[in-house]
Amino acid sequence: MGIREDQARYYKKVAQLRAQGSSWIAKAPVFEREGERVRVFIPEIDIPTFRHKEFQPLISEGGISDGKVRKNENDRNIGDNEFSAKNTGHQYRVLERSQAAQFVHEYLELPGLRSQFESRTTREMSQYRSISKVGPSGRRQFRRTYKETLKRQISLGTYEPGKPMIEEKQDRRYRSPRPTYEPSVVVIYLLDISGSTMGTLGFLQETAWWIDTLIEREYGLKKGHYIHYEALPQETTAELFYAIEPGGENNMGLSLALAHQLFGQYPSSDKYLVQLTDGDYADLEITQRSINAYTESGLPKMNMNIGNPLIDRIVGEVNAVFVIEAGAYYESAKRPIAGASAENYSTYIKRLKRERADLADRIRVSSDTIEEIYEHGIDLIPRTLRRLFRPELEEIK
């Protein structure tokens, strides 16, 4: 077999492994409480370790040699290979959060968010990386000052080795701040934990973790707020957000009002809203009844106004809204539920986008049915990420 045939077999094997990439990603996200790391499921073959045993001739029994050489039963002939090989199987490779984000970003060929949604601002930070001729004495740079004094005396012919140099004001140099710009972003996650998310909550939490990781990879400087909601919304820590269990009713409108209030704390940052739901958008419109229920709950004060907070306030302030729907069983023809919405949230969003052309690309949706979640589980995550970050590659249902 020539080199060209070998090369062709090599590239064919690489192509097969890349085709399996989505299954590796699907098995990857494991939220470890002590440090956020990811285990990537990788097929692996362990090469056996070969070693030769030395041949040891033995004397016949009785201590008298009869000229015949006998071998120990446990020895092998010279040339026999003793090897220990593990069973061929699969191994996990542990990646840090940043490494996992880079791996997924490259494999799925995801574009940058800032280029898609017009990053609005950057954050200015000053670092002392420049040199100036003026400044406070506390920032005087001795090395540069000494160098300037030496240059001046040599040029004037007054330098005398062994004698101390006297600096003048014109020789002094100071460390000076140089403005650097880092993009800043705030991401708010709204997680529906009502009782109807019993079979889909794990998928929503894993997907949120990957979105958070990818946004952090691009922006670096990120502020995240994690809100779970049922009858009432509540901000929580990231650890609890990814571990909480379902139970309760549903009030999406109040959770959006809380998100809007948090966004108001960051007037100069890029903003992204990530909604994680099973499709029920009951109480999207805030009513006086909702306001009274929240006021009487004893939770921290919140600005609430009657109406639809998504359309009235949030959409005009954020760069993008990502909606992840796992379940999608609220269409009246499929599964009418008392007190729930008569259609899926994704259906409402798609109708809204048809009515308002300015929202066509700013609200992105990924929807999977309960049957798909049960059958494929987290194997759907790569497709979900493509739908949100590269919708032109994945047709939204």
For 217-243, write each residue's pLDDT tens digit. Answer: 888 878 899 999 998 999 999 989 998
Residue 33 pLDDT > 50: no
Instruction: Look up residue 45 and give its two tokens.
Output: 């073959």
Class of residue 192 by CB neighbours under 10 A (exposed 0-12, middle 13-18, buried 19+): buried
Assess whether pLDDT exceeds 80 at residue 134. Answer: yes
Say if residues 93 and 40 touch (Cβ distance below 8 Å): yes
Q: Quick one: pLDDT at residue 192?
A: 93
pLDDT tens digits, one per residue of 315-324: 988 999 999 9
Residue 125 has what pLDDT?
Answer: 56
What confidence category does residue 95 fall into, taking pLDDT thresholds of 50, 70 and 90?
confident
**76 lies in some domain:** no
User: Residue 371 is encoded by which pair of tokens?
Assistant: 């049957």
21 confidence band (pLDDT: 50, 70, 90):
low
Evaluate if residue 7 carries a pLDDT over 60. yes
| 74 vs 189, more confident | 189
Q: Which amino acid, 272?
A: Y
Look at residue 55 and tell me if it is in a domain.
no
Q: Which residue has the higher pLDDT, 387 or 47?
A: 387
Is the pLDDT reported for residue 124 higher than 50? yes
State the average pLDDT over residues 303-319. 90
Give the integer Cα–Cα distance in Å for 105 and 94.
17
Residue 68 amino acid letter: K
Domain assignment present for 80: no
pLDDT of residue 119: 73
Residue 278 has pLDDT above 70, yes or no: yes
Residues 160, 188, single domain; the answer is no
- Could you tell me the pLDDT band of residue 64, with boundaries at 50, 70 and 90? very low
Which residues, 6 or more positions from 35, have their beta carbon under 8 angstroms from its beta carbon?
Answer: none
Residues 209 and 262 in one domain: yes
Confidence of residue 333 (pLDDT cuts 50, 70, 90): very low
On whether residue 137 sits in a domain, the answer given is yes
Distance of CA 330 to the CA centre of its chain: 30
Asked whether residue 72 is domain-assigned, the answer is no
Mean pLDDT of 356-365: 87
Give the closest residue to 282 by CA, choosing from 256, 258, 263, 321.
256
3-state class percentages of the chain: helix first, strand second, coil last, to nearest 5: 35, 25, 40
pLDDT of 337 higher than 50: no
- Between CA 383 and CA 366 the distance in angstroms is 9
Q: Are residues 145 and 262 in the same domain?
A: no
Q: Considering the chain, what is the average pLDDT of its residues?
A: 77
The stretch 254-275 carries a mean pLDDT of: 92
38: left (phi over 0), alpha (psi -120 to 50) or beta: beta
Decide which of 17 and 213 is more confident.
Answer: 213
Q: Are residues 221 and 358 in the same domain?
A: yes
Q: Would you place residue 282 in the very low, low, confident or very high pLDDT band (cuts 50, 70, 90)?
A: confident
Asked if 315 and 356 sit in the same domain, the reply is yes
Residues 262 and 163 in one domain: no
pLDDT of residue 240: 92
- In this predicted structure, the answer to whether residue 378 has a pLDDT above a threshold of 60 is yes
Q: Within a domain: residue 19?
A: yes
Are residues 322 and 222 part of one domain?
A: yes
Mean pLDDT of 181-189: 79
The alpha carbon of residue 76 and the mean position of all alpha carbons in its chain are separated, in whole angstroms, by: 54
pLDDT at 364: 93
pLDDT value at position 292? 92
- pLDDT at residue 385, rounded to an integer: 92
- Strand boundaries in 230-344, DSSP class E: 233-236, 270-277, 320-327
Same domain, 235 and 382: yes
C-beta separation of 185 from 221 below 8 A = yes
* 151 shares its domain with 212: no
Q: Does 58 map to a domain?
A: no
* Unique residue bearing structure tokens 């994704």: 346
Q: Identify whether 81 is part of a domain.
A: no
User: What CATH number does the domain containing 366 carry?
Assistant: 3.40.50.410
The residue-averaged pLDDT of 191-206 equals 90
Check pLDDT > 70 for residue 19: no
327 and 217 belong to one structural domain: yes
Q: Does 34 score more than 70 pLDDT?
A: no
Mean pLDDT calculated for residue range 106-114: 84
- Domain ranges, residue 97: 3-46+86-108
Q: Are residues 210 and 340 in the same domain?
A: yes
d(CA 375, CA 379): 9
Last residue of a domain, one of 160, 181, 202: 181
List Cα–Cα distances, 85 to 91, 245, 373, in angstroms.
15, 43, 38
pTM, entire model: 0.66
- Tell me, yes or no, whether 254 and 333 share the same domain: yes
How many domains does the chain fold into? Answer: 3
